[in-house]
Amino acid sequence: MRKDIHPDYRPVVFQDTSANYSFLTRSTIKTSKTVVWEDGNEYPLVTVEISSASHPFYTGEQRIIDTAGQVDRFMRRLQTAQNRQAETAQRRQTKQEQPRKPSLYQEVFGEEQNGSEQPAE
């Protein structure tokens, strides 16, 4: 095996920020953070958003973990869409309540033309 081509395989502490859970394992990941572990030794620290301690598949419970603001963005878009629907429905309601403008035929002859009757010549 050639020397100096493989990454350093060392003990690393992974910390799940959503479940406040940490575990010590081995990894080649590079990080500048360190933490003192339960055995008193200092190890590199890697923070993760989701691990087996917080993932719904492993925990059996549903949680909303919104680290990027996705839920907030969705709720804003949903509220905007609902407001537009309400405005459209209100405009349709007021439009139906307004009296109809008389047709040109009604303006000229004073009564509405039926489809079967022809105007007198």
> In tens digits, what is the pLDDT along the chain, a chain of 121 residues?
788 898 889 999 999 988 889 999 999 999 999 999 999 999 999 999 888 888 777 777 776 666 678 888 888 999 999 999 999 998 888 877 777 777 788 878 877 656 555 555 5
Check: pTM over 0.75? Answer yes or no.
Answer: no
Alpha-carbon gap, residue 47 to 21, rounded angstroms: 10
Distances in whole angstroms, Cα of residue 113 to Cα of each of 61, 96, 98, 99: 68, 22, 21, 18
